[in-house]
Structure 1
Amino acid sequence: MLRWPIAILLLANILAFVAVRGVFGPAPTAGGREPNHLNREIHPDWLKVRPVTAAEAADQPVVGGPAPAAPIAASALPQ
């Protein structure tokens, strides 16, 4: 009963492995992606990388930390 699904999965895995190894040609993402954007950059050397200061990082969420309290004002509804 499970013979055919296992055989199909085995053939699909072999085909995927062969495709990843490049038997059918290079992958579409093997080349540069949108190289025209790199050629149109005006002054790429003007870009500077700088560390984030504590003041700039204050509004960044902490992964694994508690969720921040939402600044919402609540009041009782009139009856």
Structure 2
Amino acid sequence: MLRWPIAILILANVLAFAVLRGAFGPTPTAGGREPNHLNRQIRPESVKVQPVSAADAADQAVVGGPAPVAPISTSELPPESPQQ
């Protein structure tokens, strides 16, 4: 009863392995698909990388650090009045 689904899954895995190994040609992400974007850049030499200052870094999330504590105030709820 389960022979055909298992056989189909094994065949699908073998096909996926062959596709990822490049049996049917390179994958779409293997190369530049749109080289015109690089040619259409306006003044690419004017792009400069600048370090983030301490003031700007305060707004950035720290990846892997503890979650910030939210400024939430809590209070007890009033006792529930009986419904009539």
TM-score by shorter chain over 0.5:
yes
- Counting matched residue pairs gives 71
Q: SS of the residue aligned with 2:56?
A: coil
After superposition, the Cα gap between the structure-2 partners of 1:36 and 1:70, relative to the gap in structure 1 and judged at 3 Å, is farther
Larger Rg over CA atoms: 2
* Identity across the alignment (%): 69
Instruction: Structure 2: give runs of 5+ residues left out of the alignment.
Output: 73-84
AA aligned opposite 2:11: L
- Aligned-pair CA distance for 1:5: 2.0
4+ residue runs of structure 1 moved beyond 3 angstroms?
none
The separation in 2 between residues aligned to 1:34 and 1:47, in whole angstroms, is 20
Tell me the residue number matched to 1:25.
25
How much is the aligned-residue C-alpha RMSD, in angstroms? Answer: 2.1
Q: SS of the residue aligned with 2:49?
A: coil
Instruction: Structure 1: give runs of 5+ residues left out of the alignment.
Output: 72-79
Q: TM-score, normalised by structure 2?
A: 0.66
Q: Aligned pair 1:69/2:61, yes or no?
A: no
Q: SS of the residue aligned with 1:26?
A: coil
